[in-house]
Amino acid sequence: MSNYFNDSLAYLDEALEFFKKLPDFDNFRQSLTTPNRLIEVNFPILLDNGRKILVKGFRSQFNNLLGPYKGGIRFHKNATAQEVTNLSFLMTIKNAVVNLPFGGGKGGVLVDPKKFSKTELERISRGYTEAIVDCIGPRIDVPAPDVNTNSVIMDWMTDEYIKLKIKKEKLKNNELLATFTGKSLNNGGVVGREEATGLGGAIILQGMLAKLKNKFQYKNEKPTVAIQGFGNVGYFLAKYLYLSGFKIVAVSDSKGAIYVSEGLNPDLTLQCKREKGELSGCYCVGSVCDLKKGRRITNSKMLSLPVDILVPAALENSINRDNVGEIDASIILEMANAPLSKEADKILSKRGVVIIPDILANSGGVTVSYFEWRQNLDNKTLTIDQVRRKIRQKLEEAVENVWQIKQKYRVNLRIASYILALERFKQK
């Protein structure tokens, strides 16, 4: 994880080269690389057996130049102060790239959720909220779900926050709701959040392909795609690319990968995976699944397929020094956070591979979270059509802005995204 932070700082420094002439350059750099605040809390929780334990949690508030801190809360037994700090830095940059009025934050609670009952998880969620209650709020810091947290947990946290604040704050109930995003639909959540990151990735990829139109040729008639990780992000990305005429030839999960040369149907594949409990055998083309249509391949073989577009949508650092030589795709769409090591990024860029960076590619999720925050503050409820129209507009604008900067500064898309973020910080 710390390499990942060093890599991000190195990219930032590359972009900062273009800002060296600023009179207050040193301050500018320092304000973007030094976290504003790290909150560490220890709070007691009553277990179902009557015992009490002390639980540790963190909230990193990295930077709020552009607006309230924004970023998820993860429940993980190995969460560390360093990890949440690193992730809150990335959130700071990502929110600036897409022009959201948010800074960057991230939280972590050191628990293994599998070891607790539902009632204990509720007490942990409420206990953490109480411990950080004065540090969050709709105009201060707006948390969201992350690894091992979901809308149920956000609803508990929101309820606890409102209970503690309703008499002290002058804010109305709908404004207090805006303290958290990723809530359930009955509790002020926004429709379309589940699909947002995958849909956003599809919008950004298509936007970039339109810009790159004359720069290279697809290996095949229809652009082919391989996706590492067939979870929430991978599935919705596959679905929307499939609907737009792309050929999804391979997908993988932690148990293995499948290759379907004719191109698979993501909906049927997901349905089949749910029924069988694994992807193997789910070779679904058109409207049927047929064992003869595809084959099982290893995860590493999948990464080396000669596709037009390779999408790491599972883990950080999945393309690195050891396997970068095998990559045979023309475009990489980074849907996971930091899926390429800096070394891999450098080698692939030199080979002319177009890398659409995480801070742009996977920003659809936080963009729709922003719509949730806004709809709560405005006391409105957006429809799915409104959300889909707004996310398209926002992300197409981001593609255009990154592209203009890429042309102006003659840099790759990652550095162009960092420069765009820096332009926005500079104006503050």
Q: Taking the complex as a whole, how short is the minimal distance between the CB of residue 363 and ligand NAD, in angstroms? A: 8
Phi-psi region of 356 (alpha: psi -120 to 50; beta: other; left: phi over 0): beta
**Maximal C-alpha separation, the chain:** 67
Q: Report the alpha-carbon distance of residue 124 to residue 296 in Å, rounded.
A: 41
Residue 244 in contact with residue 280, Cβ under 8 Å?
Answer: no
Q: Taking the complex as a whole, how short is the minimal distance between the CB of residue 194 and ligand NAD, in angstroms? A: 8
Note whether 71 binds ligand NAD by CB under 6 A: no
Q: Is 313 exposed, middle or buried (0-12, 13-18, 19+ CB in 10 A)?
A: buried
Build a one-symbol-per-residue string for 328-367: x at contacts with ligand NAD by CB under 6 A, - elsewhere.
Answer: -------xxx------------------------x--x--
Q: Go through the chain and tell me how many residues it has.
A: 428
Question: Given the complex with ligand NAD, which of 43 and 69 has the nearer CB atom?
Answer: 69
**Which listed residue (70, 94, 106, 394) is catalytic?**
106
Q: Taking the complex as a whole, how short is the minimal distance between the CB of residue 28 and ligand NAD, in angstroms? A: 27
Question: Given the complex with ligand NAD, which of 175 and 278 has the nearer CB atom?
Answer: 278
Residue 81 in contact with residue 62, Cβ under 8 Å?
Answer: no
Question: Given the complex with ligand NAD, which of 265 and 318 has the nearer CB atom?
Answer: 318
H/E stretch holding 163: helix 151-165
Active site residue 106: yes
Q: Which of 373, 297, 400 is nearest to 139 (CA)?
A: 373
Copy the structure tokens of residue 205: 């990829």
Q: Which of residues 173-202 bind ligand NAD (CB under 6 A)?
A: 197
Q: Report the alpha-carbon distance of residue 419 to residue 413 in Å, rounded.
A: 10
Question: Given the complex with ligand NAD, which of 313 and 405 has the nearer CB atom?
Answer: 313
Q: Taking the complex as a whole, how short is the minimal distance between the CB of residue 423 and ligand NAD, in angstroms? A: 23
Note whether 85 binds ligand NAD by CB under 6 A: no
The site that binds ligand NAD (CB under 6 A) totals a number of residues, namely 20
Ranked by CB distance to ligand NAD, the top (closest) residue is 231
Note whether 90 binds ligand NAD by CB under 6 A: no
Q: Report the alpha-carbon distance of residue 246 to residue 221 in Å, rounded.
A: 10
Note whether 299 binds ligand NAD by CB under 6 A: yes
Question: Given the complex with ligand NAD, which of 159 and 253 has the nearer CB atom?
Answer: 253
Helix, strand, or coil (residue 46): strand
Note whether 317 binds ligand NAD by CB under 6 A: no
Note whether 313 binds ligand NAD by CB under 6 A: yes
Q: Taking the complex as a whole, how short is the minimal distance between the CB of residue 230 and ligand NAD, in angstroms? A: 5
Question: Given the complex with ligand NAD, which of 103 and 127 has the nearer CB atom?
Answer: 103
Q: Which of residues 369-428 bind ligand NAD (CB under 6 A)?
A: none
Q: Which of residues 136-165 bind ligand NAD (CB under 6 A)?
A: none
Helix, strand, or coil (residue 382): coil
Question: Given the complex with ligand NAD, which of 111 and 226 has the nearer CB atom?
Answer: 226
The DSSP secondary structure of 171-216, one letter per residue, reads --HHHHHTT--S--GGGT--TTHHHHHHHHHHHHHHHHHHHTTTT-
Q: Taking the complex as a whole, how short is the minimal distance between the CB of residue 25 and ligand NAD, in angstroms? A: 31
Build a one-symbol-per-residue string for 229-258: x at contacts with ligand NAD by CB under 6 A, - elsewhere.
Answer: xxxxxx-----------------xxx----
Residue 72 in contact with residue 57, Cβ under 8 Å?
Answer: no
Q: Taking the complex as a whole, how short is the minimal distance between the CB of residue 197 and ligand NAD, in angstroms? A: 4
Q: Is 221 exposed, middle or buried (0-12, 13-18, 19+ CB in 10 A)?
A: exposed
Copy the structure tokens of residue 416: 């162009």
Q: Which of 38, 8, 194 is nearest to 108 (CA)?
A: 38
Enumerate residues 6+ apart whose C-beta is below 8 A from 48.
117, 119, 120
Q: Report the alpha-carbon distance of residue 412 to residue 350 in Å, rounded.
A: 10
Judged by the rule CB under 6 A, the positions of this chain that interact with ligand NAD are 197, 228-234, 252-254, 299, 313-315, 335-337, 362, 365
> Catalytic amino acids?
106
